[in-house]
Every structure is written in structure tokens, then in C-alpha cells.
Structure 1
Amino acid sequence: MNSVSAPTHDALTTEIPDYPMSRSAGCPFDPPPELSELRAHAPVSRIRLWDGSTPWLVTDYADQRALLGDPRVSADVTRSGYPHQSAGLKARRAEASTFINQDDPEHARQRRMVTAAFSIKRVEALRPAIQRIVDQLIDELLAGPKPVDLVQAFALPVPSLVICELLGVPYQDHEFFQDRSKALIKSTATPEESVAAVRELIAYLDGLIGEKLAHPAEDLLSLVAEQVRAGELTRREAASMAQLLLVAGHETTANMIALGTLALIEHPDQLARVRESQDPKLIASAVEELLRYLNIVHSGRRRVALEDIEIGGVTVRAGEGLVLANDAGNRDPEVFAEPDRLDVGRNPRRHIAFGFGVHQCLGQPLARVELQVVYSTLYRRIPELRLAADIEEIPFKHDGLVYGVYELPVTW
């Protein structure tokens, strides 16, 4: 853990910056520059959140990995001191908690119920079906008008179709659940908007679980419904779990598809390497590098200390909140050479874009396969793909849990 040049506790609390911090104009792919300064000079320091609370911000890669693997650190959102991202997200979590916001043993008990569906072997078996989805959507792109918004025409449909197939959710309802999902991950949503969205989504999924109880199928919702039948989950817990899987299963990957495409277009030498490669290892490396470089989970992983913890030369007291800035960690020069350079041949498998420890992303094998299929297919089939607007005109998602673009006009 990094304790070099660590300032005193008093020095850390003299000037407390607001968080999240703003990115530099003209640098949409880079974390806020203040994070790099803090990582170099004060890797554990106080920040001020929307509610006036002052949790600790951790910017050093090694410190973040240590904390994410430490059982003295809790992901339980109901604990006093937990640093919520916004009033809306706090209200939403109070309305519908899921296992990712719980600690073991309950976290592990519920997670085990669905782990097998996201195993590498099970996900690899889906690769041909994902390839068919991607090819069909590209066929429609090529046959349709241009310019086109790649977000609505491709980036969002790909993971939505995949997660619907996996869960057993009718894709024809995608406008309903995508609209509610937007409210759930938007930090500017009011508590009333967030609670209304999660209630509507849970009611919808509860209805589907009822159907699966009556008529089981070969899908993940039927598996979750079976846990209800066995008395392992309540209907409410099952619907909340389904809501987590549905929202997480399409929002993050959709943003990686669009933002990754934009990053490659803005780095034409790297785009050419991906487009021209027939090597699955390079494509897999490109996926990992874009995950590291872009850090679409850009508001930090939130935790609260259960005991006093010494980290980065600072004592974090029991009950104090922690914000682990993975975007700063994934740009740590002690771990990644020239970290601010996009290099698709780097293969940075040590990145923490999916987190680390027992709470690391359950769906990461599925996300990897989806991105590998997309990145190996889209640019090869549409080699002249380019922006249909200046990058300064692209609307970036600065106001949500997941970073990306609202629209991506492209042509060829």
C-alpha cells in the first residue's frame, strides 16, 4: 500500500474538494486531473459529497485493491457513513436493495444462485448467438439511412437483446425497461423519480417471475423463480435481483460499445489495429485496454469502514465512508506504463474496471464476450465508420453512475 509522501491527517482536511470532480475540457476520455494530483501527493484524502459528508477518497491502485479485498470494509448501503452518490440513489437503494449492496454471508448466498449463468464456459456457449445479433444489427445499419445514432441503432440493442435472451425478458418491452434504467443510474434524478422507476421495474419483473413460476423455461428468471419456490428468496428479493441483472446487463456494456467506438475513432492508429486484426488475443487485449482506459464506472466504488484501518499513511476510522476512484487507479503509472496512452496491445488484465474481491462484477465474462464480438466485427464490416459530427458536439454522460455518450452520430 502506498504510504510514500503521505500527508498528515490535518493536512488532508484543510481544504476539502467537492466530488465528483470535473474532467478537463477537450479531454473526454481522461479522469479529472485533480485525481492524478491526489494520487501522487495525497492518495488518501477527504472529499465533500452532495450531502455535505466528507468520506475518504482513495486514488492509489494498490490501496484500492487492498481495501476491496479487506473484510473490514463493507458494501452495505444501510450502514451509517456509507457515501451515497446522490439523494435519488440513496432513496432507490432503500426501496430495493440487492446483493451487490450487501455483505457476506447474505451477499454470497444470493450471488451463488446466479453465478453459474455467468460462468466463462456458459458465456462462451453464447458467443455464436451474440455474433448473430451483432451481424443482424450491422446488416440493418448498412441497409438503413445515414448518418445514424450508433447508440440507439446498435450499442443499446446489442446487450439488451443478449440480456433479454439470457433472463427470459421479452425484448419488445425494451423501451419500458431502458427508460426506467436511465432514471436508476442518473445522479440528477430526484428521490421521487428514482423510487418511481424502481417500483415500476420491480412490479414488471415480479409479474414475469409469476409467469415463470407457473410456466418455467430455460432462462435465468426461471432459475430465480425456482429459488422462490424453494423458499430461498422472497418474491420481492427475486424481483430486486432480476432488476439488478437486467439493468446492469445492458447499461454498462451499451456505454462501453459507444464510448469505446468513439475512443477508437479518435485514435485512428489503434482503430486500424483492431479493424485489421484476425487475432482473437489482440481483440481480447483491446477490450481490456478500453475497459482500463475509459473507466465507465466513474464515480468511484463506495464502501464504509467497519473497523479502524491504516491505509496510505492515514487512519480511516470505523464508520467513515470510502470512495475508491477506480478511474485514478487504472491510470496509476506504478502499475501501467504510460497510463494515459491508449494501447490496444497492452492487455492490462490487472485493471480494476470490474472491481476486485468478493464484490467484483458478476457479469464480467458476458461483458467481455459481447465487447470482443462487437469490436472484432463492427469496424471490419464498416471500415469507413467515422463521426458525423465534431467531437465537441457529442453529449457526454457526466451526470450518471455510468459514463458514456447520449448520442453518437456516425456515417461511412
Structure 2
Amino acid sequence: MMTPTTPINRPLGDGLVLRSLRDSDDAERVATFNGQIFGPKVAEMSRSLMHHHPATRPEHWLYVEDESRAQIVSSLALIPWQWRYEDVTLKSGEMAIVATDEAYRNRGLIRALAVRHQELLCVGEFDLSHIQGIPYFYRQFGYEYAMPLEPGWHLELRQLPDAPADSAASYHFRPATCDDLPLLMRLYEEAGQSLHIRTVRPAGAWQYLFEHSEGTETQGEFWLLLDAQEQVAGYWRVAHFGFGTGLIVSETSRLSGPAAEALLHWLKAAALERNKPYIRFNLPLTNDLLRVAQGWGAHDSGTYAWQMQLVDVPRLLSRLAPVFERRIAASSLAGLTQRVVISLYRTAYELDIACGRVTAVNALNRCDQADLHLPPLLLAPLLLGYRSRAELNSMYPDVRVRGQSQVLVDVLFPRLESFIYSIY
């Protein structure tokens, strides 16, 4: 939101200056530039986020200007999120809407913007940073694929039979409104219990989705499913835009088997009405609707991934200490006392564990006698449960674990079920 701020003004040479938003005129210039690169829906999304989203601030919107032409030539935004890792709340700063004018590419402008983005992450004490991003490019800034993004489960309409003649008497459907927000928030929290890592979506973000996402790249519609007694049996969201040509289901509550079947029939009818050739489920594997759709033959066409950066590893490990302690207590290592060292080859981190409690986390220069060795970027997929130690070891020979430490490493870093629903 456009609150007072002290803008940055950083000369880059050759008449180029890195800035943050100074006023509403700057906001409109950045939105217009983003639209020139990505299209009008991203322009409108930029405007809406800058002016209406409760999490964003003017200093989070960065751009490079060619002063000789008074023209914006590159831009990047930091969008703050909150994630819940089991019972620990973490701050993640998305690197979003990254764009450079074609005539100014290969001049290090994104690198300069990324440096400022990193400064904001550190000053704001963010734990993580995430980006959708093009393949490979963002590894140079410390990002690695480490969270599922945009699953592509497809159900062809021919695979799903028509609704039974009496189904209309059992369930009916209506669009959700702002008046339904308390109910939607409760159902959302209940659905998130099946995930180890998930998005915290506060009331302000819910209100943004209902009131300020129309006309943007992330526009969608929320619906309620009601049973024969007019009791809400669940909700779902249809995204208006996304990958593929199908009808995209981007979110649902928990659903009973009969409710999920009724919703599938509604989705088939909606897909036919909207001239969509199939239904696409952008949902986690734990989702009730997806599991029922799999029974009807939904097939996996592939999943992309969020690229993740761990902003401050010692601080993050310290914040996750309650999670590690709970995992140790539930294992054969209950009551463990040990110094655990994770080596990233050039740096290392030490967890001091006494009687099953993490008493300290320390950064080390390096350590050749570590319990676990792995390349720096691979700590993110391990810590976030995207890959297990065994999976990483099978893919990368330089992932090594000391024999007697293997059980402990696997206890501390298990595979996790995670999914990040949008806050905008």
C-alpha cells in the first residue's frame, strides 16, 4: 500500500539510477512498464498490489530509470508473505514481476535490483525468498527449486460421467461474497492442516482477493457448495488465467466424497459452458477433490516448482528448533545429546542438541568432519522437505552423510507435503 517512505536513489552508471517508488506517479509508471513487458493484466495486477494489498510497501517496488530518456527500463518487486512451517510462522519475500526492456538486457540491471531485494530481505528479517521465475536464471542469486508450484493434473471431460438426474436435490452452488469471508477463512485453515508448509492468508489478503483482483493476472472466483439442508459443505476457487486451456481449480476446502463428486459434475458443466476442453487441478496431492478426480482418471502432466532462497540460515534453523525437537522426540533418538554439523563445503552450521533440545545454532567457516555435506543450494530442498536426503544423494554424489549420522539426518529432514496458495 502507498504509505510514506524514504525512497532509495542509487546511481548505477551510464545515466541509470535504481529507485523505489516515490509517489503515485511512479507507481503508474512501473505498472505501465510491467504491462509493456507482460501484458495489460500484469499492469493491472501491479497497480492493484501497489495501491491495495496490505502487505506491500513503496520501498518494495524497485525500478531502474534511464535518466537521459526519463524512462523505466527494468523493474522488480518484493511481495511479503507469511508461511507456516508446521507450527512455526516464517516470513518469505517473493521476488516478483521481474522485467527488463529488451534494449537494456545483459547489462546487469536485474543483478543490481536483486542486490537491493536482498538488502530488503535482510533488513526485514525475512526467513525465505521465493520466485516463480524462468528456468535456471535465478540460481545465480542463490535460488533452488524447493517447493511444488502449478501442478498439472488433467481430467478430460469425457472421463467424467454426467451428473445423476437426482443430484440437484442433494447439492447446489452459489458464488461466495465478502459476507462469507469468516466462513471461508475457517474452511481454509481446516484444509491447511493436511500440509506441513502452507500459506498464512490473513483477513486483509482475503479481502484483497475479493475486492481488488478483478482484471488482474490472478483474478478468480470463489464458490460455495451447499447441501440439501442449506449447510455449507465446502468451497472452491476457479482461476481465470493460468497454464493450459482447461478450467483451472486453484483451491478447495476439505470435501466429503459425495460433495467432491457433486463438485466434479459442476466443474464439468462449467467447463462445457466456458468452452474448456478439460479440468485442471492446481492442487496439492493431499487435496480431497484431486483424490476423487484421480479415481476418475485424472493424469499428471507435470509440476513446476517455486525457486527458494534461505535468507539467513542460522536464524532459520533457530526458528525451526521446535520442529526439530518434536521430530527427535517422536523418533528412536528421543533425548538425544549431540553436536550436529551441516557442511555446505565453504560454510557450515552447527546445531547443539542437549537432551533432545536445540540449545544453540552456530555458523562455522567450514568443517571437514560434518554429519552432512551438501552443495549450498541443496539445503533449501532438504530443509523444506521437497527432496529427502536419499533422493538428493542419488542425484548428487557430493551429497554425503557420515554413516552413523544417517538416521539423525533423516529424522531432522523428512519429506514434507507442502503447497502455497496465493495471497493475491
- Give the TM interval when normalised to the shorter protein: under 0.3
Higher helix share: 1
Computing the radius of gyration from Cα coordinates, the structure with the larger value is 2
TM-score (norm 2): 0.24
Q: Give the strand-richer structure, 1 or 2.
A: 2
Identify which of structures 1 and 2 has the higher relative contact order when contacts are C-alpha pairs closer than 8 Å and 6+ apart: 1
Q: Provide TM-score, normalisation by structure 1.
A: 0.25
